[in-house]
């Protein structure tokens, strides 16, 4: 009744495989999270600056629209506001 229980010593190969698998999983998770941060292609500093610029809007929808306009920048605003093509080919505006 005085039997002493002993655990089998861990094998090197199983420890190596477990460490390799955990390293692969952690690298995959880190890559996925960093990919989510870079998916828009907008630097985080620009997002923070746009949110600071638009912080005085009362409604969330107005704030989000303001942030979108700030992040779009002058190029997209200019493209969206100017008509394309020669003057004779443009559609007349409804009045």
Query: Domain total for the chain?
Result: 1
The verdict on residue 14 lying in a domain is no
Quote the CA–CA distance of 64 and 50 in Å, as a whole number.
10
pLDDT at 25: 97
| Domain-located, residue 94 | no
Residue 13 lies in a domain: no
Query: Is 55 contained in some domain?
Result: yes
Asked whether residue 95 is domain-assigned, the answer is: no
Q: Which domain range does residue 63 map to? A: 40-81
Average pLDDT over residues 21-42: 85
- Residue 26: pLDDT band (50, 70, 90) is very high
| pLDDT at 85 exceeding the cut of 60 | no
pLDDT of 15 over the 70 cut: yes
- Residue 74, classified by CB atoms within 10 Å of its CB into exposed (0-12), middle (13-18) or buried (19+), is exposed
Is residue 70, in this structure, part of any structural domain at all? yes
């Amino acid at each position: 009744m005085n039997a002493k229980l002993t655990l089998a010593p861990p094998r090197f190969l199983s420890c190596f495989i477990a460490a390799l698998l955990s390293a692969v999983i952690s690298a995959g998770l880190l890559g996925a999270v960093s990919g989510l941060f870079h998916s828009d292609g907008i630097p985080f500093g620009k997002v923070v600056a746009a949110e600071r610029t638009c912080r005085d809007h009362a409604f969330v929808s107005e704030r989000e629209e303001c942030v979108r306009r700030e992040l779009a920048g002058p190029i997209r605003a200019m493209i969206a506001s100017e008509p394309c093509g020669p003057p004779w080919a443009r559609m007349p505006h409804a009045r």
